[in-house]
Structure 1
Amino acid sequence: MRYALYFTPPAHDPLTLAAAQWLGRSAYSGEAMEPPEICNLGLHEIAYHTALPRRCGFHATLKAPFRLAPDITEQMLLRHLMRFAGAHDPFELPPLEVARLGNYFGLVPALPCERMRFLACAVVQEFDVFRAPLSEGELERADPGDLSAPQFSNLHRWGNPHVMEEYRFHMTLTGPMTPAEMPRFETALRAHFNPYLLRPLEIANIALFVENEPGAPFHVHSLHPMGRVSARKIA
């Protein structure tokens, strides 16, 4: 079993529902969703190019999937996550936009957000004691041979190359595709998601996702609200 610390909006947030429809699966219920009907894209094309993010569920990574260290239990992780989330105030992320991320698409903030990077760095550091070290095989799979020196160092220190100064908030929407395929998908993604991206995104929880066995889909185990209970009641 592997765990991951992610951000994802609440189950009934309109962006969550739009993403579940696009990806073809809800990370909350695990139920399959009917893909949207979009001009110039077949349903089979959408299903094929969303296979990878569909398994992972709609999310932005804070701490990448990890196995628990030998002396750590799920209850220990949950208790610490509850305390950690409560000690960090919620905040707003600038509105998201559809963007090309190399050879795939995702949602990214229109403007940089230092509070988001600070939160992600804090999660990586705080929960590293809960993580079992990567095996040699996992290290090899995580290093495609083109990592920068800081990314290589991050992989061996934190189990993920894209943390600390290398961190970039993104919510993946497709798997890799060819340059010829990208213009049609970009048009379709903007048409589907833009109505849900008009306002800042509230970062108000940390989500625990779980992969029950290798290759199984990740699902939301629990959401942990950020901020003190008294402050949330006042808000």
Structure 2
Amino acid sequence: MSYSRFAIYFIPPEGALADFGAAWLGWDVVTGRDVVQPSVHGLRDITMTPMKYGFHGTLKPPFRPAPGRSFAELERAVADLAAMVKPAVSDGLELTTLGGFLALTPSGDVSGVRRVAQACVRELDPFRGPASAAELDRRRAAGLTARQDALLMQWGYPYVMEEFRFHLTLSGRLPTHDIARWRDVASSHLPDLPKPFVIDQIALCGERGDGRFELIHRHALTG
């Protein structure tokens, strides 16, 4: 399988939360297969955007490979990084609204989560191809701050480093009047959320020819 882009994600381990996420979005990023969604009117519509990525928390945003760097080199670099980074622990996960979409976000002290994400962004950046002018324009159309624009130029994405907020996405952007209803629907389907919430592994994922992301390899954080 050849991949057009790669990303570093946190993918929940096998269990109730992972099963919920795969079913809710209709795509299992671990197996690379469609999953039957719950019979909820409109669910397919609100999950069309996050579906292609699968249920995950982004640590290093999707990137095209840098010229001259091989897939094998990237795989080794991700494994080496995981061996240097310590796991992160926060109080738990909670259902929140973030920028108009539903997501699960960590509660309590998130400095460890941010530390893991910053290491992924920084240490693997040599494998990231430069952003195109069209990509830069698309990001800037969202209305970036000066700092976010600087991060975009340095790291290829504006919401990294101190602008980063870890989240497991559950929907696309929702109309304001629909947010409360969809929060109730999501709450009714959620399993018990982990307490504490632990990130003790990272996942190298790739974008397939059909635009869907799938897991390539997980690496335990053993630093």
TM-score (norm 2): 0.94
Distance 1:198-1:135 versus aligned 2 partners, 3 A rule: closer
Instruction: Specify the alignment match of 2:96 in structure 1.
Output: 99
Instruction: Specify the alignment match of 1:223 in structure 2.
Output: 218
1:49-64 equivalent positions in 2, closer than 5 A: 49-64=46-61
Instruction: Specify the alignment match of 1:5 in structure 2.
Output: 8
Instruction: Specify the alignment match of 1:82 in structure 2.
Output: 79
Question: Among 22, 25, 40, which residue is 2:24 paired with?
Answer: 22
Deviates more, 1:70-79 or 1:85-94: 85-94
What number of residue pairs does the alignment pair up?
220
- Counterpart Cα distance in 2 of 1:152 and 1:91: 28
- Counterpart Cα distance in 2 of 1:159 and 1:224: 24
Instruction: Specify the alignment match of 2:34 in structure 1.
Output: 32
1:23-172 equivalent positions in 2, closer than 5 A: 23-37=25-39, 41-42=40-41, 45-172=42-169
SS of aligned partner of 2:58: strand
Percent identical residues: 35
* 8 Å contact kept, 2:90–2:107: no
* 8 Å contact kept, 2:88–2:200: yes
- Counterpart Cα distance in 2 of 1:59 and 1:72: 25
Report the RMSD for the aligned CA atoms in angstroms.
1.4
- Counterpart Cα distance in 2 of 1:144 and 1:97: 30
- Counterpart Cα distance in 1 of 2:218 and 2:185: 30
Structure 2 stretches lacking a partner, 5+ long: none
* 1:212, distance to aligned residue in structure 2 (A): 2.3
* 1:198, distance to aligned residue in structure 2 (A): 4.4
Which letter maps to 2:11?
Answer: T
* 8 Å contact kept, 2:88–2:116: no
- Counterpart Cα distance in 2 of 1:138 and 1:17: 33
- Counterpart Cα distance in 1 of 2:142 and 2:188: 36
Instruction: Specify the alignment match of 1:197 in structure 2.
Output: 193
User: CA-to-partner distance for each residue in 1:107-141, whole Å, 9 max, x for gaps?
Assistant: 00122310111111111111111111101111112
* 1:210, distance to aligned residue in structure 2 (A): 0.4
Instruction: Specify the alignment match of 2:202 in structure 1.
Output: 206
Deviates more, 1:159-168 or 1:92-101: 92-101
- Counterpart Cα distance in 1 of 2:56 and 2:188: 20
- Counterpart Cα distance in 2 of 1:92 and 1:177: 30
- Counterpart Cα distance in 1 of 2:188 and 2:35: 18
Which letter maps to 1:218?
Answer: F
TM-score (norm 1): 0.89
